[in-house]
Structure 1
Amino acid sequence: MNGYPGDPGFFGALKELPLLFKLFGGFVFIVVVGGFLYVILRGTWRWTANNASEVITSPVTVVDKRTEVWGGSGNSSASTDYYVTFEFDNGSRIELQVRGDKYGLIVVGDHGPLTYQGTRFKEFHR
């Protein structure tokens, strides 16, 4: 038996809701679940693609650095992502996300070998 006598329970109360509320609730549920599935599948695809890529080491020049700060509203702390743009000898460029400790050691104008795998930064030696 659910709750107290005469309690229709969750599904009983759901049956009494207007159709518009049911449709809106279903839409919100689908968007939220779909968003989670998209993020999980995209991350899995990127991880798999990076693992399937060969590890490449090539001479480069550092041409730019940037940060992206996100979060930090209310009582939550902010997070920072670090990116470095490398230019190859043929003029093509690649921007890779790097760890903060590596970001601090890299200076725009540095030359040296870059090791990366797909979109995954491995190492850069000045």
Structure 2
Amino acid sequence: MGFGLMDSLFPIFFFLIFGIVIAMFIVVIVKGAGQWSRNNRAPLLTVDATVVSRRADVSHHMGGAGDAGMSHSSTSYYVTFQVDSGDRMELRVSGKEYGLLAEGDEGRLTFQGTRYQGFIRSIENV
């Protein structure tokens, strides 16, 4: 009786929200594939650089029904390098690399697009 309007609107809202979620997944996948492709086409460069800052980004995730409501976290590590021209770039690094780099370290940075490849500290700074 009173559910006529609700019965007719629910499928519309359901498919609208479902479509938005699917579209968001597609956008994320396309952006990731585009960045991956640009990195692969970029030249592998090695430049003099200085570590100017480091940061860790911790993300918390709530588990689903199979995880019995458990919480998980993951950490992404980033280091900002300054090159001789004064330009700065922030690159994602592994936890091991993050632990080995300190602000003020000088050396040779190797990267490809936005992909960190390595950093060799100058002997004078060791």
The answer to whether 1:90 aligns with 2:79 is no
Give unpaired runs (5+ residues) of structure 2.
Answer: 1-5, 63-68, 122-126
* Partner Cα separation in structure 2 for residue 31 and residue 59 of structure 1: 45
Instruction: Tell me which residue corresponds to 2:120.
Output: 125
Give unpaired runs (5+ residues) of structure 1.
Answer: 1-16
The answer to whether 1:31 aligns with 2:20 is yes
Runs of 4+ deviating beyond 2 Å: none
Task: Give the C-alpha shift of residue 37 in structure 1.
Answer: 0.7
Instruction: Tell me which residue corresponds to 1:111.
Output: 106
The answer to whether 1:18 aligns with 2:7 is yes
* Partner Cα separation in structure 1 for residue 110 and residue 54 of structure 2: 17
CA RMSD between the two structures: 1.2
Instruction: Tell me which residue corresponds to 1:75.
Output: 70
Task: Give the C-alpha shift of residue 72 in structure 1.
Answer: 4.0
Task: Give the C-alpha shift of residue 25 in structure 1.
Answer: 0.8
* Partner Cα separation in structure 2 for residue 105 and residue 22 of structure 1: 54
Instruction: Tell me which residue corresponds to 1:5.
Output: none
Instruction: Tell me which residue corresponds to 2:48.
Output: 59
In the comparison of the two structures, how many residue pairs are matched? 110
Instruction: Tell me which residue corresponds to 1:41.
Output: 30
Task: Give the C-alpha shift of residue 69 in structure 1.
Answer: 0.3
1:100 to 95, 107, 113: 95
TM-score (norm 1): 0.83
Aligned residue for 2:48, secondary structure, equals strand
Aligned partner letter, 2:82: E
Instruction: Tell me which residue corresponds to 1:3.
Output: none
Instruction: Tell me which residue corresponds to 2:66.
Output: none
Q: Sequence identity of aligned pairs in percent?
A: 44
Task: Give the C-alpha shift of residue 89 in structure 1.
Answer: 0.8
